[in-house]
A and B are shown apart, each in its own frame.
Chain A
């Protein structure tokens, strides 16, 4: 800063500086650089996604095209040209069925209780906290729970005989427990988004709490609940670690069953566990791994897109 002679000259100089600053053209170069850096960080993450999708498609599609339908009808095999995802896909579909049949009704009922029935007591707060923290438990810990309870303690009932406890039933129950907190949290959010006025209007004409929930709150919350449950399905479809712990087949195994019931009590594998198994095989299996990843990603992206479409279609602003 320059030393100035008099207050008057001081003011004049200051005005001059301000005038110069205000009339200055050009862009804020540092600001632009900063913005570019931020965008670069975001694109770095998305770039890896693009890189991954490219690598997977380039390496997976040829195998998929070459094998055609055969890839979907053959099962686990030790030679790559004969190995396919039939058993993995069936197993994964069964697991999603378990999630839909067990976790959805239970999760939605729990959410309805927490949001619509429970008063703000210490117990309610405890339950809310427990659900929140359950959602953050690493999935492999759920595998340990399933191993101790469904495989070891209830093994004789759920997976008798040669399955030695490691049955599809045990895997399905573990998956249902795993997604339960996610279903509760998303359903509770959807219920919370329904305005209180709707409930008050229904109570005002003499409806009971169940009637309010059944006829007014649930219909409005249904799209949100549906989106959440679809995302929970996707999670169950891609989850691997807990299935490995509760003994989904990793490695060669004969998995032929005469009927669905026998399948339920027998050993199984899923699509992601098949990928994990093949990933540890010799390099000749690389084509198979990439092809199976293509199948997995197509299903997952399809399911996610469905959720986004539903959310946009039914999204309601109050």
Chain B
């Protein structure tokens, strides 16, 4: 090889390696900024205040249990919608649907997955809240409810659950199904007693990933759950509430005043670090479980 060619080869390799390293640098930057600013907040705030009930940054009240409760309520409702709908869709697509039905329904699910969350948030506030949540909660409620936000987040997460779970069922070898049919089992029995147990780790991973998405979902909650300007501790799906993500947008839009001298600005990072840690933990757990599935077959 002539020296020019060799030199070019080395330069190209270096360029590509630098680009790949950038991904690592970005994640390091995320962790460092979050930890640094969160530490600034944690070292200045009275730790007892963090366990108080109520989230009112303007009054220096940073009750972490309040926004955790809101987040878990909404994510719980969302998974109550997304887990059964997603799993049912996955079983249908993987075990029942013919090629043409699949070719029609799968892109439709992808379109649903591509609807921006601002749009679903406005839909939740304007449509889901009056027409679904009001009857369920018996009587006219505040238009801002955690129930409406939860249902909308569930619809948003459902295609993800369906897609990961369907992949897992798809990976179950056809010979297992054939053996089951050979023993005289019906399709329903085969789906529920053979395919589902064989794909269980992928299905668990689908639900964990869905929950992680639901916890990190921001715009639906910021628009439809209420809680701009602070919130009381609440687990009531028929009333307004505050999540970690909505609290962060409220802090950033200035409705809770970010750029003052107070602790509101660093509190944004404290909440961000908490959210990052929770979602990362869930994602890593899901990755582990999927990996185990892959090794078995």
Knowing A106-B19, A148-B37, the reply to whether A275 touches B92 (Cβ < 8 A) is no
B269–A112 touching, CB < 8 Å = no
CB distance from A291 to the nearest CB of B (A): 12
Interface size on A, residues (CB 8 A): 81
Inter-chain CA distance A37–B191, complex, in Å, is 14
Inter-chain CA distance A114–B24, complex, in Å, is 12
- The reply on A193 being an interface residue by CB < 8 A is no
B33–A300 touching, CB < 8 Å = no
Identify which of B54-62, B215-223, B233-241 touches chain A.
Answer: B215-223
Interface of chain B: mostly helix, strand, loop or mixed = helix
A145–B275 touching, CB < 8 Å = no
Interface size on B, residues (CB 8 A): 84
Knowing A130-B24, A181-B23, the reply to whether A140 touches B218 (Cβ < 8 A) is yes
Inter-chain residue pair count (beta carbon < 8 A): 243
List residues of chain B with CB within 8 A of the CB of A133.
27, 280, 283-284, 287
List residues of chain B with CB within 8 A of the CB of A300.
114-116
Knowing A131-B23, A293-B122, the reply to whether A45 touches B85 (Cβ < 8 A) is yes
Knowing A31-B187, A137-B279, the reply to whether A240 touches B92 (Cβ < 8 A) is no
List residues of chain B with CB within 8 A of the CB of A245.
248-249, 252, 268
Contacting residue for A38 out of B8, B91, B118, B219, CB 8 A: B91
- The reply on B39 being an interface residue by CB < 8 A is no
A276–B268 touching, CB < 8 Å = no
Inter-chain CA distance A107–B16, complex, in Å, is 10
A: residues with CB less than 8 A from B are: 28, 30-31, 34-35, 37-42, 44-46, 48-49, 51-52, 55-56, 105-107, 109-110, 112-114, 116-118, 126-127, 130-134, 136-145, 147-149, 177, 180-181, 184, 208-210, 234, 238-241, 244-245, 247, 250, 272, 275-276, 279-280, 286, 289, 293, 296-297, 300-301, 304, 308
B: residues with CB less than 8 A from A are: 1, 5, 8-9, 12-13, 15-17, 19-24, 26-27, 29-30, 33-34, 37, 84-89, 91-93, 96, 105, 107-112, 114-123, 125-127, 155, 158-159, 162, 186-188, 209, 212, 215-219, 222-223, 228, 245, 248-249, 252-253, 268-269, 272, 275-276, 279-280, 283-284, 287
List 15 A-B residue pairs with CB atoms under 8 Å apart, sorted by A's residue number. A35-B96, A40-B88, A42-B105, A45-B162, A49-B155, A113-B19, A131-B23, A132-B287, A144-B269, A144-B272, A145-B30, A148-B269, A238-B116, A286-B126, A300-B116
Given contacts A110-B23, A141-B276, A238-B116, 17 further A-B contacts (CB under 8 A): A30-B188, A42-B105, A52-B120, A55-B123, A56-B123, A127-B23, A130-B27, A133-B287, A138-B276, A141-B30, A145-B33, A210-B12, A234-B114, A272-B118, A272-B219, A293-B119, A300-B115
